[in-house]
A and B are shown apart, each in its own frame.
Chain A
Amino acid sequence: AQSVTQLDSHVSVSEGTPVLLRCNYSSSYSPSLFWYVQHPNKGLQLLLKYTSAATLVKGINGFEAEFKKSETSFHLTKPSAHMSDAAEYFCVVSAYSNYQLIWGAGTKLIIKP
């Protein structure tokens, strides 16, 4: 069975400082992993995805994530936070069936001016 744990429900950082959103997964098979972002009153948007190619994945808006099999982690990072990054971020693993997405509970990113 697949599962996802986002270790922080809220993360608060100052503008211009690094961002780290933590995600651990459990999967019986080689997983596909995703990060989605949800801005207030907007639809979910894909930030990046890992599908067994390079372990360091670059996404949109300067975000990247590293797949670490030994740690079963897929943490999301950004070197310098911007006010527009304030949103809810979801870590997602695809099930063995490959169509069903298993979602974490989300991490709310707060950016302080």
Chain B
Amino acid sequence: GAGVSQTPSNKVTEKGKYVELRCDPISGHTALYWYRQSLGQGPEFLIYFQGTGAADDSGLPNDRFFAVRPEGSVSTLKIQRTERGDSAVYLCASSPRTGGGEQFFGPGTRLTVL
């Protein structure tokens, strides 16, 4: 079956621009997570959705970052006024339920801000 997909795989943008990163979770998975991974580090939690609602957005670094999941399936991570420090790989994961189980990861979107 299809796994988690993310588009685009690579995104290059200029400082100050707006970007959207898309995540398509595994069908039927109610939980969706966004992480950011910088070079040489483990993934860093950004936000978690249960269904359509953001159950925990405590990992979003500032108000330039926002994410939505309007129909409880596809999610979009939005970054306004991008900065060079936003350059990283953005990972999306989904799971069939919350609580102690495996999260299934997409291949990530590599964002480069020039």
Residues of A within 8 A of B (CB): 32, 34, 36, 41-46, 49, 51, 90, 92, 94, 97-101, 103-106
- Residue from B41, B42, B102 in contact with A49 in the complex, judged by beta carbons closer than 8 Å: B102
Write the chain A residue with the least CB distance to B97. A99
A–B Cβ pairs within 8 angstroms, 23 of them: A42-B107, A43-B4, A43-B91, A43-B105, A43-B106, A44-B93, A46-B102, A90-B43, A92-B42, A97-B56, A98-B99, A98-B100, A99-B31, A99-B33, A99-B48, A99-B56, A100-B48, A100-B56, A101-B103, A103-B42, A104-B42, A105-B40, A106-B41
Count B-side interface residues using an 8 Å CB cutoff: 25
Write the chain A residue with the least CB distance to B9. A41
A98 engages B40 (CB within 8 Å):
no
Write the chain A residue with the least CB distance to B5. A43
A43 engages B42 (CB within 8 Å):
no
CA distance A34 to B101 in the complex (A): 10
The 7 closest A-B pairs by CB, nearest first: A103-B42, A44-B105, A98-B99, A43-B105, A99-B98, A43-B107, A32-B100
Interface hits, B34-58 → A, CB 8 Å: 40-45, 48, 55-56
Instruction: Type the 1/0 row for B54-65, where 1 means its CB is closer than 8 Å to any CB of A.
Output: 011000000000
**Residue in A32, A44, A97, A98 with the greatest tally of chain B CB atoms within 10 Å:** A44
CA distance A44 to B99 in the complex (A): 19
